[in-house]
Every structure is written in C-alpha cells, then in structure tokens.
Amino acid sequence: MALTDAETVDVQPRTDYAKSGDIHVAYQSLGEGAVNLVFVPGFVSHVEHFWEDPSLARFLSRLASFSRLVFFDKRGTGLSDRVSEAGVPTLEERMDDVRAVMDAVGFERAAIFAPSDAGSMAILFAATYPERTTALVLYGTFAAGAKEPGYPWGGTPDEWDAAAEHWREQWGRVVFALERFAPSKVGDERYKEWFGRLERLGASPGAAAMLARMNGDIDVRHVLPLISVPTLVLHRRGELVVFVDEGRFIAEHIPGAKFVELDGVDHWPWLGDADSVVEEIQEFLTGTREPPDPDRVLATVLFTDIVRSTERAVEVGDRRWRDVLEDHHAAVRRELSRFRGREIDTSGDGFFAIFDGPARAVRCACEIVEGVRSLDLEIRAGLHTGECELIGGKVGGLAVHTCARIVAKAAPGEVLVSRTVKDLVAGSGLGFVDRGVQRLKGIPDEWQLFAVKQPIGSDV
C-alpha cells in the first residue's frame, strides 16, 4: 500500500492468525505506544480492506500513535474462519477469540475498545476477565437488541427477522443505509463502493442474516453493574442507529463509568469528527490529549483541467455535457487506478490527485490527455513534487498551491511539470521541452517549467 493511501502508516501491517480452539482468527497489530489496546470491530470487518478507506486507515493509525494496537476479524467474518449458520458464535466464543489474539501478541492485559454491537461482547469480557482488562471503551453501543419494559429502544423480534431477510437478499449492496449509518457520506459514490465491497468481503449473505438475528438476542443489561474496570462510554448525540439515550443507560449502570456525549451524526467512529473520538480515548487511557498534527509526506501532485469547458457545455447542452463529464471522470479514474494515484477532489471538470512516484504521475497525466481525446475533449495537466500535509482526509500545503498555478500555465493538450519533477524522473526515459522560467501567481520565486514530450511509453 502506498504511503499516501494510508496517510500515517507507511506499509499495511501484516495479517497474522491466532488459534482459538479450532478457529483461526485473523488479526493485525501496529504501533509502539505504552498502552495495549484491542479494537473489536463491529458487525462485519475485513482487516485488509479496512486500509482501502482513508478515513478508517487514518483512524487506526491515530489509535496506534499512542498504543500497541491490535484489531481482528471476529470468527465468521473477514479473513477469519467461516462458521455455518447452525454454528452461530456465542458471546463466550467471541470472548475466547479476544483472549486468543491477546495471547498471540503477548498482551497479558489490555484496554478493550468496542463500537456498536461489538460492545456487548466487550462488556462481557471486561466483567468476566477484569484481571486481563485495564480499561473498557465503548462507542455507540447498545445493551440489548430487543425493546422491552424498562428498555424502550431496540427492535421487536419481527423487525429483527425482517432485517435479517433484507440483509440476506440485499447483502453486498450497502444494506447499512448511509442515510442512517453514515450521513456525512451520503452521495459519496466511492465510499458507497468501498462499503459494499466491505460487506461482500466481510461475510456471506447467510452469515450476515445470522449475525443480525444474533444482535436481536443480545442483552447484557444484567452484566453492566458487575464491571469493575475503568470505563469510558462515548456516544454521538445526533446518530440515528443507536440513540444517545442508550449510551447514557449503559454509563448509568456501570459503576463509575465516564460518559462523553459528542457532536455528530455518523454511527461509525472513523467518520465525521473522528479526531474527537480518538482524543477522548487517548486522554482516558494515557491521561494526555494531543491534537492531531498534520502528517507530512513527499508526494507528486497532479491537477487536470478541461480546456474550453464552458464553451463546450454551451455547444452540446446541459444533458449531453453531463454525459460527457461522466465519461471523462470514468476515463480519468481508470488511469488513476492503473498508475496507483489517489483522487483527492473533483471540482467541476478538473481532478486533483496525488502519487507516491513522480514517474507514474507523469505517465498517468499523459495517458489521461491522450485518453480523453476519444471523447472529443482536450485537457491540460500540471505536476509538482513537494511536501504535502495530510490531515482530516484533506491534502494541502505549498506543493498543492504550486501545482494549481502550474496547470494554469499549461497549453491545451500539454502536461507541464516543475523542474523538481523533471529532476526526480531522470533515467525514466521521459523526455521534456524547456518552457522557460516563469512566475507563478502567489508563489514565491521563479519556477522553471517543462512540457512532457508525447507520446511516451506507458509502463506502470
């Protein structure tokens, strides 16, 4: 995995396996902090696919910045051994999986962090094995899946059965409606695609239905008063899946528990203001709270822009122009995927992407220029390599501003690069034409720019 894809982790951690009875449990570990921390994922997971989402990758990396972090795929999900529908994993068996993972990495004791439905198993683990639990952190958790007297939340058995059948039929198509689970991602097709793939990789349709029915049977209310370890309960006040009153209920029934109500609407902790979630966890476990510093990496920045886009839109009309833009976006994204570029933003008719290799970035830009000509489009592209700041899913810094000015200097059909890019790709076989020393608006100093000779070889 490229450095720029994981944001704060250079290389994806290796997946290992712990033996829990006859079951192999897939896990990853990272970080060298003083705190041992076990992250128990919710409903379904896939420890390797997690890293394909920048927001989740950054969330894991931030947890690992102050801890020795371990996270795993529960039995029946992800890369762990599958189980049959007849063999529904019990909470006790899932506790055994936690112990197996802790033993595999040498954790005698650890803090347990569990969001959503994973919280019930973490609650049972902390009450059963206080000698192995230094602290318990719950996020967006419910104590019972069924609505009963004294517990007005949850669903009826019929509602859970209906949910299970819906998931069985629609699994892999994002059954976790983003409008409820991730409102901040509504309309984000790339996130929707990633999450649909997480469902397919995380469990089979039958297993998903089985797990849904199991969640309907969860009830750990009687266990809450038995927890004796320090406990933090986090909940976003605006979320629509597990209501904030359910978090308050849990905190009120665990002796000495600390309850923190956070702003936000997303059910998944790595979305929205994820930094606030991590900061609360860090302060609770370490006694200190460190705001996230911008991560700085060397990256090659690419900007593209369609030439005469306004005039073309007028010529072909709004409906046809929308079709042209969709074809343009698809063509650009194919090349970005092929050359391992990371799309940062798409504004109107332009793309902003970063690469961890300048030669690939140049070749990608040239292929984009050539590829969109079949759509009767002409674009210009600009490239610059420099230090970028990565924070909160955003990319910024002087290198980005510089590249934006370089693309504005490019002629139609031209890929224009800074001298830095030209020097870094020496020996790659790429050719350049000197475009002279130029001033870039708002950027200090003078800049020598070069146009890429085309056509070029397209080796990735």
Q: What pLDDT, on a 0 to 100 scale, did the predictor assign at position 154? A: 85
- Reported as a single tens digit per residue, the pLDDT across 8-34 is 444 578 999 999 988 999 999 999 899
User: If pLDDT is split at 50, 70 and 90, which confidence band does 4 have?
Assistant: very low
What is the helix (H) or strand (E) element at residue 312, kind and residue range?
A: helix 309-316
- Reported as a single tens digit per residue, the pLDDT across 350-386 is 899 999 889 999 999 999 999 999 888 999 999 999 9
Do the Cβ atoms of 300 and 356 come closer than 8 Å? yes
Q: What pLDDT, on a 0 to 100 scale, did the predictor assign at position 40? A: 96
Q: What is the mean pLDDT of the chain?
A: 89
Whole-number Å distance between alpha carbons of 383 and 398: 13
DSSP category for residue 84: -
Any residues with CB less than 8 A from the CB of 341 and at least 6 apart, and which? 302, 335, 353, 354, 355, 360, 361, 364
> Domains of the chain, with CATH numbers?
3-286 (3.40.50.1820), 295-452 (3.30.70.1230)
Q: What pLDDT, on a 0 to 100 scale, did the predictor assign at position 144? A: 92
At residue 394, does pLDDT exceed 80? no
- Reported as a single tens digit per residue, the pLDDT across 271-288 is 999 999 999 999 999 998
User: If pLDDT is split at 50, 70 and 90, which confidence band does 6 have?
Assistant: very low
Helix %, strand %, coil % of the chain (to 5): 40, 25, 35
Q: Where are the alpha helices (DSSP H) in 26-90?
A: 54-64
- Reported as a single tens digit per residue, the pLDDT across 167-215 is 888 888 887 888 999 999 998 888 889 999 999 999 888 888 888 888 8
Q: What pLDDT, on a 0 to 100 scale, did the predictor assign at position 258? A: 97
Closest CA to 133 of 214, 40, 234: 40
* pTM above threshold 0.75: no
